[in-house]
Amino acid sequence: MNQGVSVAKIRRNGAFYVAESRIRQMSKWKGIITLVAVGNPLFYLVAIGIGIGILVTENSGTSGTGGVEYIVFIAPALLANTALLGAMDETVFPVMEGFKWRKMFYATNSTPITGPQIALGVFIAALVRVAFSVFLYWLFLIAFGVLSFQDSWMAAVVAMYGGAAFGALMMGVVAGVKKDDYFLTVLGRLVITPLFLFSGTFFPLTNMPIYLQPIGWISPLWHTTELGRYFGYGAEVSTTMLSVHFLFLTAMLVAGIKISNIRFANRLLK
Amino acid sequence: MPESLISARGLTKKFGDFTAVDGIDFDVAKGESFGLLGPNGAGKSTTMRIIAATSRRTSGTISILGRDPEEHGPQVRAHLGVVPQQDNLDTELTVTENLYIYGRYFGLSKKFVNKKVEELLAFAQLEEKKDVKVEALSGGMKRRLTIARALVSEPDILMLDEPTTGLDPQARHILWDRLFRLKEDGVTLIITTHFMDEAEQLCDRLVVMDKGKIMAEGSPAELIKQYATREVLEVRFGSDRNKEVAPILREMCDRIEELPDRILLYVEDGEALLEKIVAKKLHPNTSLVRRSSLEDVFLRLTGRSLIE
């Protein structure tokens, strides 16, 4: 063994070595990642700001959106959505790749790196992607005059926090997927799309019939969006509800990491 | 007695009701090239995974460099270079990047890894492919890269699971040459294979495994001496006539094996026996005298061919 190999050092930094390698893998897709990060806000802001936004404002003013323009109302939701989708991309696919498609986690685990370190490394790299995408989106929102630079940075931070919580949970879920036949289709169409539509993204959740509102209550997108609205433009959210939103996301984050640690360790140590 | 790097006693691994490894004992000495020979499903790869601290044993004991791999997984793996049966390289990264990121997993400095990568590219004869994505490499190149990757930490023990399966003859010989060099450098090699020629070429000592058990242990020459004769005469009379002639041939030597397409006759002097057969007017369609191999040992021990 080379004298430079130090198990104590690997125990401390193992997750960062994995993150370093994940970021290197991600860099192969940097063109697409940047295109999505730039194109997504551009399309949404033009379509919703100029198109739907005008329609809503002309018909109901700002009464249904808490006194702010429609585009301002949905801006925190778009930030949150970007964070969650970015987190999903960088957890679901790498974990499927690592365990199933190209089995690279098994190569990583044949070094002193452990399963939980691989999970944490993937998670750290996902956060880097989330931070990049959310930051760019936030800059667009400022450039379009939707949010103010000084007052809305916390909206970007809570969006990243929501992305982290959702990413951790997705990682834990996907680490348990043995057959991927329908998983991604079901995930995309029956989880992500309803999440986007029923989480108070385009209209307040309270506009929905009460029997549909629970979809929002269990949705990290709704909790993240509500926090974003509070921090982004000062929407009215009670202290109790602020705590509920934070606690929900924190519980999801902690549970996601715990489940990931257990599943990564067990799946790699047969 | 040379220093023992690996020592296993009563090593057992069960998957539900199926026993993959069934109470095996073995030791591997420092600098030794140790082989696990057996057909698919013999328990070789499972044994490798237990040694590599990536599989829990059901019972028995195993010590690698004095440590239990289940309790000290990262410490044990720090000493190992692992070449799995299927190349699990990152096909989207380049050859150099694959070596680099693996070196980083061992906590090695960027400076050291960058220098080591150059050395390994030369070892694996991949200098010209250093900036090529792995997906564009041939099977033999990928295999050499996987071996080079396992060497990035300068391991004490290199573990190779079926290193040449799926490679063409030329690629196999290039790979054997690389492994010989490592052997000469004193690296301890543990090799699983179902190719007897590979085991004979690369292993100082080996165990023959079947159905999770060790059937025999020794150097290739010792095993052949103990379980086979010096030469083997292979005769073919045609699938219909083989059965008819076999009882006559059985009288002419100590041991015969009837295979579906040919009869194997175990003797010290194959040519002399062939002359006797011809003298009896039993003219085989084809005949071949060859040296006994580990295939014959396996056939003797299990009654089955290695590749079925």
Reduce the secondary structure of chain A to three states and give it as a string: CCCCCCHHHHHHHHHHHHHHHHHHHHHCCHHHHHHHHHHHHHHHHHHHHHHHHHHHHHHHCCHHHCCCCHHHHHHHHHHHHHHHHHHHHHHHHHHHHHHHHCCHHHHHCCCCCCHHHHHHHHHHHHHHHHHHHHHHHHHHHHHCCCCCCCCCHHHHHHHHHHHHHHHHHHHHHHCCCCCCCCHHHHHHHHHHHHHHHCCCCCCCHHHCCCCCHHHHHCCHHHHHHHHHHHHHHCCCCCHHHHHHHHHHHHHHHHHHHHHHHHHHHHHHCC
Is A194 inside any structural domain?
yes
Is A8 inside any structural domain?
no
pLDDT surpassing 70 at residue A97: yes
Give the closest-approach CA distance of A1 to chain B in angstroms: 4
Sign of the dihedral through C-alpha A55, A57, A58, A62? positive
What confidence score (pLDDT) does residue B308 get? 47
Distance CA A108, CA B106 (A): 10
Residues of chain B with CATH 3.40.50.300: 31-41+74-221
- Total residues found in chain A within this entry: 270
What confidence score (pLDDT) does residue B2 get? 60
The answer to whether the beta carbons of residues B157 and B81 sit under 8 Å apart is yes
- pTM for this entry: 0.88
Is A7 inside any structural domain?
no
CB–CB contact A24 B73 (8 Å): no
CB–CB contact A5 B55 (8 Å): no
Fold of the domain built from segment(s) B31-41+74-221? Rossmann fold (3.40.50)
For B107, the closest of A10, A24, A104 (CB atoms) is A10
Is A1 inside any structural domain?
no
For A2, the closest of B84, B105, B153 (CB atoms) is B153
Domains held by chain A: number = 1
Fold of the domain built from segment(s) B229-291? Alpha-Beta Plaits (3.30.70)
| pLDDT, average across residues A33-51 | 82
Residues in chain B predicted with pLDDT less than 70, given as ranges, are 1-2, 304-308
Give the closest-approach CA distance of B194 to chain A in angstroms: 23
The complex scores an ipTM of 0.85
Is A110 inside any structural domain?
yes
Q: Which residues of B touch A15 (CB under 8 A)?
A: none
Which residue did the predictor score with more confidence, A48 or B30?
A: B30
For a pLDDT cut of 90, what percent of chain A falls above it? 56
Domain that holds residue A158: 18-268
Q: Which of B15, B86, B105, B111 to substitute to test the interface with A, most A CBs within 10 Å?
A: B105
Residue B133 DSSP code = B
| pLDDT tens track for B91-117 | 999 999 999 999 999 999 999 999 999
Q: Which amino acid is at B81?
A: G
Give the closest-approach CA distance of A161 to chain B in angstroms: 28
Residue B22: how many CB atoms within 10 A of its CB?
Answer: 18
Is A152 inside any structural domain?
yes
